[in-house]
Structure formats: structure tokens, C-alpha cells
């Protein structure tokens, strides 16, 4: 049987027990394992969790008096908060212990890490008081150092990688380059982070990126570009955020951090934009091979040069298709709804606009989306990723896209 190391304990479940009759410790332990078996499925079976070291030794303290028994049950856990809460709740389903009826109530589920943080803060206060009493003048600076120490203590570990305290429990994850980045983000209230700590992407980051909505937040330098390229090629990245050019995430101010995250780009959009801005090798070679044309333009008198004009690309639609899109869109005016069609214009689903992005992620082969709203960068990125052909809406932002985007005005 695996033993739960004290350093891996996250929570401690405590429950009271009362029984009408005399019971002993083995009776209680037998009831805990026997009567909770199968309640939560095999993944949360107490025996298996204890064998794998995710649940510790069940401690029971029970005393008998005047023909009745009462005591306490203590179960240490290294599971996450939700799983620990489920295990705790199963204890209250136990109705008999040995030959006696029993009543078990969960009294507390303690977070051992909060106790450690409290100890650090209390100890820091004690140290600061001693320093101030000794005549140290810069109390503000010392206070900031103590706060920094507390933040450093909040950093936890996930399979050997440094991460923020909320990374495991959060449905969203921000990937950064190093431990110093995590500390800076903690300083400004961002706690769902994990660091790759090197040029290669760890396997655990690749795996967990498939389960969570993931943002890669990289430095604005050459190293950040290389790390981002590795992440994009190996992990399931949903969004990309970049520090200002020449700056690292660890040195950003609060305003710079939130601005970068607010302006994050969907991964599909980021890849598309990068392909548009980087000339192909053949095109670059062609430019190098024919410099005479540019020199000719430079030497030609200004009066002979034709003014450069830029035309906005207007999608070409057949009359029937245009009329079909216009009718679909008119039917949705004022509904705040979205319709998703396949390539044969068969309706795959109709959902509120607020649920469109989440629904789109779950549908296979969407072809056309018509909705009462505005096409923005986020929707455009996901549509490109899913291979959508047409986005038809009331309004649209000015976007570069492989998807044909049509507004109400385009259909007039």
C-alpha cells in the first residue's frame, strides 16, 4: 500500500461519528471502505486511491461510554478540491458501523496550504516587528520583500514544473517561460499559470493543454518567439499573448500584463497572420533576383508613376446564394441567435449567440454560420480552425481570414 507523503497532503477531511452501541476502530474503518465502495465509480474508489498514494491512512479516534460511542475520522488527501469534497460527502452516506446504527457528519475540510501561508505571514510579521524595533528605517521596502516571499511560497509544483496555486483547479491555463514570470503574475493577481522551464515543451504541458483553455504568454524577444513556435507545434494552444517588444513577462507592469492578455489572439488567427506577413522563400528569392524593377521605379519621374490604389476584396456570390444568406439573416434579426449549417445547408444546430463559440468547438464539419451579431477576431480564429466556409452576420470587424465573412451590408 502506497504511503501519502506529508509534503503532498493538500487537504484533511475531518468528520464526527456517533453510534448507538459499542464500536471499535476496525469497525469504523471497515464501514468507511465497505459502504462507500462504488458510489463514485472506480476512479474515486477509496481502496484504489489509498493504494496509489492519493488518499492517506484513515485515522479513527473513538471512545465508548454508557453503551454509546463517539469519535472522529481523519482522512488526508492529495486530490484536488472537487474530488476531496466528493470523498468527504460519501462519509455521510454511512448508516451502520458494525452491528450499530451510526451518524457521521463532516465537520471540516482543511486546506493545509493555507495553514502554511498563515504561518509564513505570521512569522514575517514577527520578523518585521523585530527589525523595526531594532531601528531599521525602510519598513516599506521590507514589507514588499515579505510580500514577495509569501508570493514565492504560493508557487506550487505540477509534475516537477513550477505553477500558480490555482492552475490545477482552473479550467484555463496560462503557459509562461519561467518561475520569475509566475511570481510577477502572482504579484498582480493571476494564479492559474505554469512554466515550461526550458526550450523544449514538457510532455505534461502537452497533455494538460488538451484539457484546459490554454494561453501561451511569451517574452517579446527572440527566445520568446522560439518558445512560442515549439508550443504551437506540440501543444494545443488556444490563444497567444506576447509581451511588448524587447520586454520579458517577469518585468512587465500590471497595466502591461493585462493589456497583453486582453489583446490575446486566437491561435488559428495568429498562425494565419504570421503566414501572411512572412514572405515565402520563393518570393523572397524572386525579389532578390529582380532588383532592376525597383531601381527603375526609383529613377522614373514622379509624374510618370501611377498612383497606388487599394481595393477591398468583396466576395463573389451567386444570386441564389446571396438571396439565401439574406433570408437566413433576416429571419434572425432581433433573436440574438445563431444557426450552424453543413455543406448541404442542413441545420446542425441553433443556439444563443453567447453559446456560439463553445458550441462551434463541439460540432464536426460546420460549413456556414449565420447569426444575429458581429464577427470578431475570436470567432474568426475558431471558425478558421474548424474549417468554416462562410460567416454571415449583422456586422463584422476588419479581419484577415481564410473564411468568407459577410455582413448585412454585403448582402444588400
- DSSP-derived secondary structure letter, 59: E
Which grid cell is 296? Answer: 527603375
Phi, psi of 103 (to 5 degrees): -130, 115
Query: 376, 355 in Cβ contact below 8 A?
Result: no
Domain coordinates in residue numbering, the chain:
6-112, 156-263, 319-411
292's grid cell? 532592376
CA separation, residue 142 to residues 111, 145, 252, 280 (Å): 28, 5, 22, 54
Report the run of H or E that residue 237 belongs to, with start and end: none
pTM of the model: 0.40
pLDDT confidence of residue 141: 60
- Whole-angstrom distance, CA of residue 391 vs CA of residue 366: 11
* Phi-psi region at 53: left, alpha or beta (left = phi > 0; alpha = psi -120 to 50): left
C-alpha to C-alpha distances, 72 to 6, 34, 58, 108, 116, nearest whole angstrom:
20, 18, 11, 11, 24
* Contacts for 210 with CB less than 8 Å, ≥ 6 apart: 236
Determine the Cα–Cα distance for residues 296 and 327; give it in Å rounded to an integer.
52
- Concatenated DSSP letters for 274-325? HHHHS--HHHHHHHHH-HHHHHHHHHS-GGGSPPP----------HHHHHHH
What CA–CA distance (Å, rounded) separates 324 from 329? 9
What is the sign, positive or negative, of the torsion defined by CA atoms of 18, 19, 20, 24? Answer: negative
Class of domain 6-112: alpha beta
Residue with cell 488538451: 210
Q: Is the dihedral of CA 119, 125, 130, 136 positive or negative?
A: positive
Beta bridge partners of 75: 13
Distance CA 58, CA 74 (A): 6
H/E stretch holding 321 reads helix 319-331
Q: pLDDT digit of tens for each residue in the chain (412 aa)?
A: 445 555 578 889 999 999 999 998 898 999 898 888 888 887 888 888 888 888 888 999 999 988 899 999 999 998 888 889 999 999 999 989 988 999 999 999 988 877 777 888 888 888 887 776 665 555 556 566 666 666 666 788 898 899 998 898 888 999 999 999 999 999 888 999 999 987 789 999 999 999 999 999 999 998 899 899 999 999 999 999 999 998 999 999 999 999 999 999 998 888 766 665 544 444 444 444 444 444 444 444 444 444 433 344 445 678 888 889 999 999 998 889 999 999 888 888 888 998 898 888 888 889 999 999 999 988 998 899 889 999 999 999 988 888 999 999 988 8
| Cβ atoms < 10 Å from Cβ of 288 | 8
6-112 and 319-411, same CATH topology = no
CATH of 156-263, one of 3.40.50.620, 3.60.20.10, 3.40.1360.10, 3.40.50.720: 3.40.1360.10
pLDDT at 270: 82
Query: What's the CA gap between 226 and 217, in Å, rounded?
Result: 13
Please name the fold of domain 319-411: Cytidine Deaminase; domain 2 (3.40.140)
Amino acid at each position: 500500500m502506497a504511503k501519502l507523503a506529508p509534503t503532498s497532503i493538500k487537504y484533511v477531511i475531518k468528520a464526527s461519528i456517533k453510534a448507538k452501541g459499542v464500536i471499535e476502530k476496525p469497525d469504523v474503518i471497515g464501514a468507511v471502505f465497505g459502504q462507500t465502495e462504488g458510489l463514485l465509480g472506480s476512479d474515486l474508489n477509496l481502496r484504489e486511491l489509498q493504494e496509489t498514494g492519493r488518499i492517506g491512512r484513515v485515522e479513527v479516534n473513538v471512545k465508548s461510554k454508557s453503551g454509546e460511542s463517539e469519535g472522529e475520522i481523519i482522512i488526508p488527501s492529495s486530490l484536488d478540491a472537487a474530488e476531496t469534497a466528493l470523498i468527504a460527502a460519501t462519509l455521510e452516506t454511512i448508516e451502520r458501523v458494525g452491528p450499530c446504527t451510526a451518524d457521521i457528519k463532516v465537520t471540516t475540510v482543511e486546506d493545509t496550504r493555507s495553514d502554511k501561508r498563515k504561518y509564513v505571514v505570521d512569522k514575517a510579521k514577527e520578523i518585521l516587528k523585530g527589525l523595526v524595533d531594532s531601528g531599521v528605517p525602510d519598513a516599506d521596502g521590507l514589507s514588499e520583500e515579505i510580500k514577495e516571499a509569501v508570493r514565492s511560497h504560493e508557487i506550487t509544483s505540477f509534475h516537477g514544473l513550477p505553477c500558480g496555486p490555482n492552475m490545477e483547479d482552473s479550467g484555463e491555463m496560462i503557459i509562461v517561460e519561467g518561475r520569475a514570470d509566475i511570481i510577477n503574475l502572482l504579484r498582480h493577481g493571476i494564479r492559474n499559470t505554469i512554466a515550461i522551464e526550458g526550450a523544449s515543451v514538457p510532455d505534461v504541458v502537452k497533455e494538460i493543454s488538451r484539457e484546459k483553455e490554454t494561453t501561451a504568454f511569451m517574452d517579446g524577444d527572440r527566445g520568446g518567439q522560439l518558445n512560442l513556435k515549439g508550443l504551437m507545434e506540440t501543444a494545443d494552444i488556444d490563444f497567444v499573448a506576447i509581451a511588448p517588444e524587447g520586454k520579458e513577462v517577469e518585468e512587465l507592469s500590471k497595466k502591461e500584463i493585462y493589456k497583453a492578455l486582453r489583446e490575446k489572439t486566437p491561435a488559428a488567427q495568429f498562425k494565419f497572420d504570421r503566414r501572411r506577413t512572412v514572405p515565402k522563400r520563393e518570393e523572397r528569392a524572386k525579389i532578390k533576383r529582380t532588383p532592376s524593377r525597383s531601381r527603375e521605379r526609383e529613377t522614373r519621374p514622379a509624374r510618370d508613376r501611377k498612383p497606388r490604389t487599394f481595393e477591398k476584396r468583396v466576395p463573389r456570390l451567386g444570386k441564389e446564394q446571396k438571396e439565401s444568406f439574406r433570408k437566413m439573416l433576416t429571419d434572425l434579426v432581433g433573436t440574438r441567435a445563431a444557426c450552424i449549417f453543413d455543406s448541404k445547408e442542413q441545420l446542425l444546430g441553433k443556439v444563443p449567440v453567447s453559446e456560439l463559440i463553445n458550441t462551434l468547438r463541439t460540432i464536426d464539419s460546420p460549413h456556414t454560420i449565420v447569426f444575429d451579431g458581429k464577427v470578431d477576431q475570436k470567432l474568426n480564429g475558431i471558425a478558421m480552425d474548424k474549417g468554416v466556409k462562410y460567416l454571415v452576420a449583422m456586422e463584422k470587424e476588419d479581419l484577415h481570414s481564410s473564411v468568407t465573412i459577410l455582413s448585412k451590408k454585403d448582402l444588400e
